[in-house]
C-alpha cells in the first residue's frame, strides 16, 4: 500500500513538472508595414521624441465586425535612418500583443507595427492599447490609447 502511494505521488509530481515546464505563449514578432489611416483608426496624437527626432503614436483599428487590432506608428521626419524596434500590448487575454522587429527606419519613413486582429464582443470596450518604441541608443518611449474604444452594438 505504501509503495502504491509513493508511486502515485511520484506520478503526480512528474505531471506537475510537465505542466509547469511548458513554455508560456510568446507574442509573435512582426515587421513594420506602410500605414494608411482612415475613420476606423482611433489614435493618440503623435508624441515627439526630441532626442531622436522621431514621432510615434498608438492606435486601435476597429472594423464594423468588431475586429480590432493595436498598432504602433512611427514616423521619421529626420534626414538620417534610425534603428527601431517595439512592442504593442493590446487585448492580451485574446492574443492581441506583438513584438515589433528591429528595423532600419529610413529618413522620411512612416510605418506601423500591427498586432494580431482580435474579435471584441458587441457593445463592449476594448482594453487600452500601449505602444512602446525602442530607438537604438535612446530611452524607451511609449504612448497609449487610454480607456480603450467602444465596439459597435
- Model pLDDT for residues 71-127, shown as the tens digit of each residue: 999 999 999 999 999 999 999 999 999 999 999 999 999 999 999 999 999 999 999
pLDDT of residue 139: 80
Mean pLDDT of 127-143: 91
Greater confidence (91 vs 137) lies with 91
Q: Are 96 and 123 in contact (CB under 8 A)?
A: no
3-state secondary structure of 82: strand
Give the residue from 90, 92, 106 showing the smallest Cα distance to 32: 106
How confident is the model over 126-143, as a mean pLDDT? 92
pTM of the model: 0.81
pLDDT, average across residues 45-71: 96
Instruction: Specify the pairing of strand 98-105 against strand 28-30.
Output: parallel
Amino acid at each position: 500500500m505504501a509503495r502504491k502511494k509513493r508511486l502515485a505521488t511520484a506520478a503526480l509530481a512528474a505531471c506537475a513538472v510537465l505542466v509547469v515546464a511548458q513554455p508560456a505563449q510568446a507574442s509573435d514578432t512582426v515587421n513594420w508595414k506602410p500605414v494608411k489611416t482612415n475613420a476606423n483608426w482611433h489614435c493618440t496624437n503623435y508624441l515627439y521624441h526630441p532626442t531622436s527626432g522621431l514621432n510615434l503614436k498608438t492606435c486601435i483599428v476597429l472594423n464594423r465586425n468588431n475586429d480590432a487590432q493595436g498598432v504602433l506608428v512611427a514616423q521619421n521626419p529626420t534626414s538620417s535612418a534610425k534603428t527601431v524596434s517595439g512592442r504593442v500590448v493590446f487585448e492580451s487575454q485574446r492574443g492581441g500583443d506583438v513584438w515589433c522587429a528591429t528595423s532600419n527606419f529610413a529618413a522620411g519613413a512612416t510605418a506601423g507595427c500591427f498586432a494580431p486582429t482580435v474579435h471584441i464582443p458587441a457593445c463592449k470596450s476594448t482594453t487600452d492599447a500601449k505602444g512602446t518604441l525602442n530607438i537604438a541608443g535612446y530611452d524607451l518611449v511609449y504612448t497609449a490609447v487610454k480607456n480603450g474604444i467602444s465596439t459597435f452594438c
